[in-house]
Chain A
Amino acid sequence: MNKIIYKQQLSSDVYKMRIEAPLIAKERRAGQFIIVQIDSHFGERIPLTIADADPVEGSITIIFQAVGRTTHLLAIKAVGDTVQHVVGPLGQPTHIEKFGRVICVGGGIGVAPMHPIAQAMKAAGNEVIIIMGARNRDLLILEEEMRAIADELIICTDDGSCGRKALVTAPLKELCEMEPKPALAVAIGPPIMMKFCAETTRPYGVHTMVSLNTIMVDGTGMCGGCRVTVGGETKFVCVDGPEFDGHKVDFDNMMTRLKAYKSREDQDHHRCHLDEAIEEKK
């Protein structure tokens, strides 16, 4: 069970893996995630988005950045190894229908969860414009895959080493000002990026969906550790989400909660790239 059947390093610390998981492959829909645990005794449970699935082969694809204990352990596994625990598909699937012009904004590793959503949006007959952002060319992932789906692909890097030297919010703003007005924006990436995407679209009244990646334990609604404030109400990301209306999410509270165990992680010498990204963009 859960055998790794394919592994590829996409950038310095981002990996793509195909894992045998026939039931999840059959059930999963765009937007859903799994919980992974390595080491039954002392391992932690972490959520990872399902980037793709092949129900015929009975496999799911995950793309992850080696940032913490579990993702590091996962990264050193080889083809033929097994992942001790994989549970899913969890969360609500993305609501897919024909909206019209849909803008998909993926930042950093957020491009991975965006891929199945963009695919499904395209298949539903939408015009799909994809904005991909990364700090530099080396950190861009899934460019070819996204190009194959997109009616238009816009690449932004912080240092201009590929595409435009801009933050993803710049082309997003331009698209909001252009006709036809986007029917929907979907933003997935570091929390700070999602927050600013939501702020960018807000004045234009463009409905904006974001996919939240909070700390989780069970992933089935039992602990409430994943809770966020959305429109003044408490929601559990693992069962009510992971997607929410970006204009209603309290991102500041969510970002603070993500740092709850920060000091502990520092002790463990974990470099959190998400935080680096947050610090940089501030």
Chain B
Amino acid sequence: MTHTTSEQLTLAATQGLKTLEKPLKAKQRMAIPAQEMPAQDPAVRRHNMNEVALGYSEPQARLEAERCLQCPTKPCVAGCPVSINIPAFIQKIADGDFAAAIGVIRESSLLPAVCGRVCPQESQCQAPCTVGKALKSTDKAVAIGRLERFVADWERENGLLKTPAVKTPTGKKVGIIGSGPASVTVAADVRREGHEVTVFEAFHRPGGVLLYGIPEFRLPKAIVDREIDELRAMGVEIKTDFVIGRTRRLNDLLEKDGYDALFVGTGAGLPKFMNIQGENLVGVFSANEYLTRANLMKGYDDRAATPIFPSKKVAVLGGGNVAMDAARCAIRLGAQEVHLVYRRTEAEMPARIEEIAHAKEEGIIFHLLQNPTRILADERGWVCGMELLSYELGEPDASGRRRPVEIKGSEFEMDVDTVIVAIGNESNPLIRQTTPGLATSKWGTLVVDENGKTSLDRVFAGGDIVLGAATVILAMGEGRRAAAAINRLLAQS
């Protein structure tokens, strides 16, 4: 496979910029080649944890920005969960005014460096993009996410991040449970209004899934730490090693500790298993466990005390971002072969397209329309293989998706020594079990109203604990909404 380096891409973009004759017509804009994301060479990155996607250079960003048609109807904005004024920020990039561009994004989003990297743009802002539609491929849409990342990185790398101003103290106290993207958003928005804010985090480091789940090679932890430092600089107090429901109960915070409002952003941290034979053998892990050992506990570093299972042949079950992350971690941690087993076809995979492509480039072997029926043990009780069944696509179901149906008698075996289960997460029951009166759905998620308020007075919630395992941007959006409601409530009382 030939690999195009960042330098080559930048050179081509620089030449491309020179040949542009302004003002550009729509047709000329659409003729500009979609700018490829520079990336580490797959052969090299399989052996390191460094970030894979290297980010646009300035010429690439400016050329990509010229592809935008500035559609008056802004279909892309409708696709953005937090309604960033996309054409406006892209125009500023085209103009070379990057400070103004990031300013536009910051009106609507708190975590652009994170979202630019992990949002599923192809199913959000880039899906309805006119350019992509005209060129008959979402891949060819304006690379909104990469442009967002470009200006967010530009701002950080040039030391231009400004700690938001905090209003005069109101004497009101808000407690925030969890420190993922939903909580970080609430903390910033509520603190800005001058309220005292305390974040309670069960782990020893704040950041939620951004820290313990999404690997370094996709989202450098320095970026997450930077966001947390920002909160601290605003005067937010962060208490780690603090489990609400155990160290202190939700009700205690309200009734005894004097909090005027609470936000629950505890995420979807309960790993689902397949409930098949052999799932408790040595060598079977939830993706949560595998990724936590690898990322939060730094299993990739020889100095880490937390051990990582020494795998040779790994099977990862699932087709989402979590599955891709686990598979790509396993390759980096030294596995010789990594197999990804998914029950449906690639078209149904919920993972970001870029991650699927990166996984394939790194040599992850995809097995589609297959599903394990049991995990096999050697004489010591360690995993030595899996029995699988093949599937074919049947009739479309209610959602219009063709359902996979098993092919009778198609059993076969696959030799593996490690199985990582990445078929999803449910919500952690700790808070609901220890908080009487907190209404939950039948899936265990918290029920909230249109302001993000739960069934309890002064208690709000958002992110994965409400939506089920969802996305960073939706968590942030929910955080925004709840923070606004909390600020209104505290202004009245």
Contact = CB atoms under 8 A, between A and B. Distances in A.
Interface string B9-24: 0000000000000000
A265 interface: yes
A27 B246 contact: yes
Given A87-B247, A227-B280, A217 B306 contact: yes
Contacts of B382: 256
What class of interface size applies to chain B in its complex with A? 35 or more
A90 B248 contact: no
Contacts of B128: none
Contacts of B304: 42, 44
Kindly name the residue among A24, A87, A256 whose own CB sees the greatest number of chain B CB atoms within 10 A: A87
B202 A218 contact: yes
B217 interface: no
Interface string B376-392: 00001110000000000
Max count, chain A CB within 10 A of own CB: residue among B281, B306, B309, B382: B306
Nearest to B298: A42
B361 interface: no
Interface stretch (A33-41, A123-131, A142-150, A204-212): A33-41
B292 A217 contact: yes
Given A42-B304, A90-B246, A221 B310 contact: no
A257 B289 CA distance: 14
Contacts of B280: 227-229, 234, 250, 253, 257
Contacts, number: 117
Given A90-B243, A234-B273, A257-B282, A217 B293 contact: yes
B313 to A, nearest CB: 17
B407 interface: no
A239 B431 CA distance: 12
Given A42-B304, A44-B297, A265-B307, A222 B428 contact: yes
Given A37-B204, A261-B309, A263-B310, A224 B243 contact: no
A45 interface: yes
Given A44-B306, A221-B428, 15 more contacts: A41-B303, A42-B303, A44-B307, A85-B241, A88-B243, A90-B243, A217-B297, A218-B202, A218-B203, A220-B243, A220-B428, A222-B270, A234-B275, A252-B381, A260-B309
Interface of A: 23-24, 27, 37, 39-45, 69-70, 84-90, 217-218, 220-225, 227-229, 234, 239, 250, 252-253, 256-257, 259-261, 263-265
By Cβ-Cβ distance, the 6 closest A-B pairs, closest first, are A223-B289, A44-B305, A222-B269, A256-B381, A261-B307, A87-B241
21 contacts: A27-B248, A39-B305, A42-B301, A43-B305, A70-B305, A87-B242, A88-B243, A89-B246, A90-B243, A220-B202, A220-B246, A221-B428, A221-B429, A222-B288, A222-B292, A223-B286, A224-B271, A225-B285, A250-B280, A259-B282, A265-B307
